[in-house]
Homo-oligomer: A and B are copies of this chain.
Amino acid sequence: MTRQRQLIYGIVTAAPEHRTAEEIYDLARAQMPSLARGTVYRNLGLLVQEGLIRKLEMPDAPARYDREPRSHPHLICQRCGRVEDLAASEQLLASIRAELPVPITGYDLKLYHICPACRGGGKDGIA
């Protein structure tokens, strides 16, 4: 395990944020200025392969990385792109499986909405 790998993994797992490779690169360079961009991409890919973290493809935007590798839903604001984790529901997964003709190895569920901040005004969501 190289220092670079450790650093990158640490940044992803330290916070629940869903950061892009570029954001991770910037944060990492604050601690290791010589770190190369390619190293970040390569290690993120390896961490994903090993099942330690998860890659989230975003609509019309760079991918983001999630410290939780197990399948779980994400709530995404259509306007600002903010990503929020939702708890994986066994009940939901069961419903999904029940509908399927084949066994699945994982899923990716993105739920779109407009977050309170983007809905404007001060009030949010009472209506």
Contacts and interface: CB of A to CB of B under 8 A. Distances in A.
Interface in A14-40: none
A57 B55 contact: no
Interface string A31-73: 0000000000000000000000001011110000000000001
Interface string A75-86: 100100000001
12 contacts: A57-B57, A73-B96, A73-B99, A89-B99, A91-B99, A102-B113, A104-B112, A105-B112, A106-B112, A107-B110, A108-B110, A109-B110
Interface of A: 55, 57-60, 73, 75, 78, 86, 89, 91-92, 95-96, 99-100, 102-114, 125
